[in-house]
Amino acid sequence: MMENQTMRKCNVCGEYKPITEFRKDCNKATGYRNTCKSCKNEYERNRIRTLKIRCIMYKGGQCTLCGLKLNTKNLHVFEFHHINPQDKQFTISSKGYNLDDPKVRAELDICILVCANDHRYCHKYR
């Protein structure tokens, strides 16, 4: 199948899809990105997941308060709690900050790794 105005081939999955399945990109000659939305979304989910795992492992890989350890099923449970909220520069979140960035490491250094239950407890009772 040839590419035309209404169909485009994704460079990742190799499928021909309607042009509406591609994000616009004014920097490209065609006006659209080369990767379909679903492949780009999957790539971003994996990238953010990998970065979160690296951040969790940097902080010891388990909840500081209850000792819950990271496994393949509970990644979403872990959060970073700022011990002193006044020192907080930004939120370590699922945005996928790069752990190699010194600013991110500095922010992680003023946090403790906690599970979601203990994080709620920290904000309510500490």
What is the torsion angle, in degrees rounded to the nearest 10, for the CA atoms of residue 28, residue 30, residue 32 and residue 38? -120
Place of tokens 């922010």: 107
96 plus 70 within the same structural domain: yes
* Per-residue tokens: 2: 């040839």
68 plus 119 within the same structural domain: yes
Domain with 119 in it? 48-125
- Helix, strand, coil % (nearest 5) of the chain? 40, 20, 40
10, 39 in Cβ contact below 8 A? yes
Residue by residue, pLDDT tens for the chain (126 residues) are 555 578 999 999 999 999 999 999 887 777 899 999 999 999 998 988 888 899 999 999 999 999 999 998 899 999 999 988 888 888 776 566 777 888 888 889 999 999 999 999 998 886
Number of domains into which the chain is organized:
2
Q: What is the pTM of this model?
A: 0.77
